[in-house]
Amino acid sequence: MKTLTARKSARAMDTSALLKRLLGHSLLAAALSCGAMAAFSPAHAQTPAMMMPMTPKDVLNLDATVQTQVTPDLAVVMLAAERSGADTAGPSAEVTRAITEALKEARSVAGIQASTGGFTTFQRFDNKGQRTGWTVRAEVILKSKDFTALGKLAGKLTQAGPNALQITNNTFEVSTELRNAEEAKLMERAIAEFRRKAQVATSAFGYKKFSIQQVNVGTSSGFVPPQPRPMLRMAAMAAAAPEADMPIQAGSTELSLTVSGSVQMEN
């Protein structure tokens, strides 16, 4: 009996020690958990305002735009061949032949850039909605800095007999070379104007000087207004004088450039 009682007492002591160890581990885990929560509590976490960089004070944002008037140096003339027939085969062959001859003629003239434009085929209908045939149309685009040579060529192509074309439009462009040259001048002026405006504003706000924080230099932009379509005028000229030159005279267009940025005003 004594032996059995001793064994029960020993097992009770082992169980008690095990419970104490488990309880100790639980308390430690709870303490660590509380410590971790405290570390990431709102009191310790960084707020968005603390994480965001502070905006510098006394910073002025401004821009400066300058313009110049430029005479476009590249003339563009668009001509078209248009033929009609009961089907598409005949008109397509005639149009293709006319455009091919026009390109051949244009490429024989120095300083002329020639390329094809749109090619369209559409049906024709009478006033009763019945199909009466087909019309085929193709375009050729001519460009040149030599306005005289281009005008002479355009007039000649309208008098090419069965391969004659119609002038459908003319306009002008600023060439890449001219645009780059004018853009360099605009850039110098725009930067000088930016600095002038920054100095005026700095003084007006009661500061003595400024330093540039950020600056963006744009590219030149401009619009060349389209010219009136000369179809009726050229038709009258063609009737009056074979191979009459097409008069080409460019107007002026405005190019502009903007410099924008920010400056730090200082005393």
Q: What is the SS3 assignment for 18?
A: helix
Give the total residue count for the chain: 267
Q: Are residues 239 and 142 in the same domain?
A: yes
Domain match, 101 and 191 both:
no
241: domain CATH number is 3.30.70.2970
Both 7 and 89 in a single domain?
A: no
Q: Is residue 253 part of a domain?
A: no
Count CA within 13 A, CB hemisphere, residue 250. 22
Q: Give the structural domain span for 127.
A: 73-173+226-248
How many folded domains does the chain comprise? 3
Phi–psi pair at 53, nearest 5 degrees = -65, 145
The predicted model scores a pTM of 0.66
Instruction: Tell how strand 166-173 and strand 209-217 pair up.
Output: unpaired
- Return per-residue pLDDT of the chain as tens, 267 residues: 544 444 545 454 555 554 455 445 554 444 445 554 544 445 455 555 556 656 678 999 999 999 999 999 999 999 999 999 999 999 999 999 999 999 999 999 999 999 999 999 999 998 988 899 999 999 999 999 999 999 999 999 999 899 999 999 999 999 999 999 999 999 999 999 999 999 999 999 999 999 999 999 998 876 555 554 444 344 444 444 455 788 888 889 999 999 999 999 999
